[in-house]
Amino acid sequence: MPNQRGYRSGVWETFACDEHGQHIGPPYIVKLVRRCSMEATIYELLQSQRNACTHIVPTEVVRDSRGDFLLMPCFTGLHVQPPPWSLEQVLNYFVQVLEAVEHIHGLSVAHLDLNLHNLVMGPANNGTLDSKVRKYKPYLIDFGNSLVLPLGPGKQGPIELPSGVVDHFEGVSRFDPYAWDVYCTGQLLARILKHFAHVGPRTRSLLEQYIKWMVGNEGGCTGMRCIDICRCRPSARQARQVATLARSGLIVSRFVSRLRDLVLLRWWRSV
């Protein structure tokens, strides 16, 4: 017997209950999709691929005469992995978020409302019924404003941007949708760096420069090459590649440091 409570408009948190009304099993979210939204279609598209994106919450789409419904595990926000985050944790998060954005862009899907409210984390103890869910892994949610576009990154012209959490550029209502996603992702990562990261000042400065590269000009596009298609910001793939390279460099650096310490320890014991 289910027990439901309102979460926000059109969204309910639901629990299975025993005969005594006690919750059993993990909580799930039930969402009624707006009729003008492509959200149900987008979830079906993202989960139908052979290499389905592992940063999308496993979701069941229910088509009904009353409307389309989504059923998914109830994940929470970043407080699942409380700060301070190490440099390795920060880079892991950057890479995984950009992997998710790169994947949906590869399917010509623009999210158009990327912000911290629309990113959740896999629970520390996986109580869901889906074995693919991973601890502390970021997952994209809320594709209510998202669109499937006719062309991919670098080819798609500007569209009318929907209203969202991130304010539009002043005086700009039409913009390259994929570049808008990258801009919003940069703003999101800047908040992670500010509120969660525990890194030295030099490392923080380098990460801020990386985020500034993603965010670009906050007035929109000012480059001479940016006619309809934004070319003054990286694509999600380019941003992910740089973050992956930085993470790999950190891993190699730590391996070399440990190897050096091991060699010195053995030398010291032999003399």
Q: Give the pLDDT confidence score for residue 106 in this predicted structure.
A: 93
Q: How confident is the model at residue 53 (pLDDT cuts 50, 70, 90)?
A: low
Q: What angle do CA 189, 190, 194 make, to 5 degrees?
A: 115
The predicted-structure confidence for 242-264, as pLDDT tens digits, reads as follows: 999 999 887 777 666 676 767 66
Domain ranges of the chain: 76-252
Q: What one-character-per-residue DSSP string does 21-72 give?
A: S-EEEEEEEEEEPPTT--HHHHHHHHHHSTT--TTB---EEEEETTEEEEEE
The answer, yes or no, to whether residue 158 has pLDDT greater than 70, is yes
What percent of the chain lies above the pLDDT cut of 70? Answer: 80
Q: How confident is the model at residue 176 (pLDDT cuts 50, 70, 90)?
A: very high
How far apart CA 28 and CA 129 sit, in angstroms, is: 10
The predicted-structure confidence for 129-151, as pLDDT tens digits, reads as follows: 566 778 888 999 999 999 999 99
HSE (side-chain half, CA atoms, 13 Å) at 105: 27
More confident residue, 220 or 135: 135
More confident residue, 43 or 171: 43
Contacts of 73 (CB under 8 A, 6+ apart): 26, 27, 28, 29, 57, 58, 128, 129, 130, 133
Q: Give the pLDDT confidence score for residue 1 in this predicted structure.
A: 41
The answer, yes or no, to whether residue 223 has pLDDT greater than 70, is no
HSE (side-chain half, CA atoms, 13 Å) at 53: 27
Indicate the fold that domain 76-252 takes in CATH: Transferase(Phosphotransferase); domain 1 (1.10.510)
Q: Give the pLDDT confidence score for residue 12 in this predicted structure.
A: 78
The answer, yes or no, to whether residue 48 has pLDDT greater than 50, is yes
Q: Give the pLDDT confidence score for residue 50 in this predicted structure.
A: 64
More confident residue, 170 or 256: 170
Q: Give the pLDDT confidence score for residue 51 in this predicted structure.
A: 61
Least reliable range by pLDDT among 7-16, 110-119, 214-223, 233-242? 7-16
How far apart CA 157 and CA 220 sit, in angstroms, is: 14
Q: What is the mean pLDDT of residues 196-215?
A: 92
pTM of the model: 0.85
The predicted-structure confidence for 2-41, as pLDDT tens digits, reads as follows: 455 545 567 777 766 656 666 666 788 899 998 889 999 9
The answer, yes or no, to whether residue 127 has pLDDT greater than 70, is no
Q: Give the pLDDT confidence score for residue 91 in this predicted structure.
A: 93
Mean of the per-residue pLDDT values of the chain? 83
